């Protein structure tokens, strides 16, 4: 199989609007969760979120274009521009059909949908924006990135709730391996911190209600966890055929090596209690990467801070890795960013690639009180310096969608 290199990274996150800032805060255990400022959240049971701060799209995006994009698409394009700049790619020397874009989103332009639906109810259907549809559809993030650069390779969106960007990254890997593209810009974007969307999660009782202490609210694997915290943003990676990347002397963060996916076939929101779906996706990704369970040095967990997910994921890791499970560091990016839904896997894959590249494992923030049966090495509170030759990142979505991405240290 063709090998695939990660050569560019871009991010818009609750911890910063570029990769350097995001990684510095993540490594140091800083927290991006606060009381919601985008609207008055007082009617909600959960009033906290990982919001994007000080985002100025005009720094990278034409101001007129930015006004015609839902925030999720603006985040995606902004992060893509950073990732492409970081990669050092010169598209003018390539055939545009050799460059693809695959970007996932779970909710798409829900901010636009909510705003225009209110307008529809108050003023009628002929008063909604002519940009309603192109601003709302989840595939517009992939579309707008390709339009920005005139790219004509494989171009589509993946929509699988919290696994959306993991599917995007995995499918990008496959398209390079199949020879459909030399380069794929991939990842995910989400901007679902709206009163309407938050209300849906609140009545489902999925969110933390620790409103008096937002920075302690997301506490994956901790005994006192009471639900996840919504976040927003985008993560974009540039993937390249390894031979092509080497031929142009590209900087390589890590090798994207494996992709595993499965379904639970169990419940619309609850994970399968024994975690067999997650076991299957982890095993498939490891096998697809040409690795064994003994090769895995780190796991970036889905780690949502919900009672059911954290118990299930811990059980799945134990089921697959047996006694070795206790020797593998496991940490949750969501403890500091909140849960970016369809963009979560993208920023977590970026974090995993940087962990490999810099031999540093970021901590799980707020892991303070061990829970019965949740007894793995969750890297509590402080980052750890450790060589990582291979790692996996898990993403598990409503509907029973399980995806695992496997990465290796680049060794030439």
Q: Are 75 and 56 in contact (CB under 8 A)?
A: no
- pLDDT tens digits, residue range 343-389? 999 999 999 999 999 999 999 999 999 999 999 999 999 999 999 99
Q: What is the mean pLDDT of residues 380-403?
A: 96
- pLDDT tens digits, residue range 108-128? 999 999 999 999 999 999 999
- pLDDT tens digits, residue range 163-208? 999 999 999 999 999 999 999 999 999 999 999 999 999 999 999 9
The residues near 399 (Cβ < 8 Å, ≥ 6 apart) are: 160, 161, 263, 268
Q: CA–CA distance from 233 to each of 62, 189, 379 (Å)? A: 19, 6, 25
Helix (H) or strand (E) holding 331: strand 330-331
Helix (H) or strand (E) holding 262: strand 254-263
Given the DSSP bridges, would you call strands 254-263 and 4-12 parallel, antiparallel or unpaired? antiparallel
Q: What percent of the chain has pLDDT over 90?
A: 98
pLDDT band at 297; cut points 50, 70, 90: very high
* pLDDT surpasses 90 at 135: yes
DSSP letters, 44-56, are SS--EEB---S--
Q: Share the mean pLDDT of the chain.
A: 97
Model pLDDT, residue 284: 98
- What the block records as the tokens of 328 is 């593998």
DSSP letters, 91-117, are GGGS-GGGEEEEEE-SS-SHHHHHHHH
Q: What is the mean pLDDT of residues 137-152?
A: 98
* pLDDT surpasses 90 at 1: no
Structure letter (DSSP) for residue 271: P
- pLDDT tens digits, residue range 246-261? 999 999 999 999 999 9
pLDDT band at 412; cut points 50, 70, 90: confident
> Nearest-CA neighbor of 104 among 79, 85, 129, 130?
79
Model pLDDT, residue 106: 97
Q: CA–CA distance from 376 to each of 65, 131, 272, 357, 390 (Å)? A: 47, 48, 20, 24, 18
- The answer to whether the predicted template modeling score (pTM) of the entire model surpasses 0.95 is yes
- What the block records as the tokens of 251 is 């900087």
Active-site residues: which are they?
Answer: 162, 302, 339
Model pLDDT, residue 75: 98
């Amino acid at each position: 199989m063709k090998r695939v290199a990660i050569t560019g990274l871009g991010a818009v996150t609750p911890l910063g609007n570029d990769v350097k800032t995001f990684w510095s805060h993540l490594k140091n255990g800083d927290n991006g969760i606060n009381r919601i400022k985008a609207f008055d959240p007082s009617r909600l049971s959960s009033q906290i979120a990982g919001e994007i701060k000080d985002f100025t799209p005009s720094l990278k995006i034409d101001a007129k274009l930015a006004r015609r994009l839902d925030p999720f698409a603006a985040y995606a394009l902004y992060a893509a521009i950073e990732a492409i700049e970081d990669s050092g790619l010169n598209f003018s020397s390539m055939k545009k059909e050799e460059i693809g874009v695959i970007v996932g989103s779970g909710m798409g332009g829900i901010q636009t949908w909510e705003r225009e639906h209110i307008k529809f109810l108050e003023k009628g259907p002929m008063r909604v924006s002519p940009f309603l549809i192109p601003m709302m559809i989840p595939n517009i993030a992939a579309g707008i990135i390709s339009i920005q650069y005139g790219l004509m390779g494989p171009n589509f969106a993946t929509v699988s709730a919290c696994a959306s960007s993991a599917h995007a990254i995995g499918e990008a890997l496959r398209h390079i391996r199949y020879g459909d593209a030399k380069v794929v810009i991939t990842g995910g974007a989400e901007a679902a911190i709206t009163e309407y969307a938050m209300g849906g999660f609140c009545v489902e009782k999925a969110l933390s209600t620790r409103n008096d202490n937002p920075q302690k609210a997301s506490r994956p694997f901790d005994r006192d966890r009471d639900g996840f915290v919504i976040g927003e943003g985008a993560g974009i990676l540039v993937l390249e055929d390894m031979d092509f990347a080497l031929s142009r002397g590209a900087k390589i963060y890590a090798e994207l090596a494996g992709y595993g996916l499965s379904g639970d076939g169990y419940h619309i929101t609850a994970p399968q209690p024994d975690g067999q779906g997650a076991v299957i996706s982890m095993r498939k990704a490891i096998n697809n990467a040409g690795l064994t369970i003994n090769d895995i040095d780190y796991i970036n967990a889905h780690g949502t801070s919900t009672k059911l997910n954290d118990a299930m994921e811990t059980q799945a890791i134990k089921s697959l890795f047996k006694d070795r499970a206790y020797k593998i560091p496991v940490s949750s990016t969501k403890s500091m960013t909140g849960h970016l839904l369809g963009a979560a896997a993208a920023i977590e894959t970026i974090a995993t690639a940087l962990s490999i590249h810099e031999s540093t494992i970021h901590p799980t923030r707020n892991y303070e009180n061990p829970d019965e049966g949740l007894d793995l090495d969750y890297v509590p509170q402080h980052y750890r310096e450790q060589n990582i030759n291979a790692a996996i990142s898990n993403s598990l979505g409503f509907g029973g969608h399980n995806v695992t991405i496997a990465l290796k240290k680049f060794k030439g």
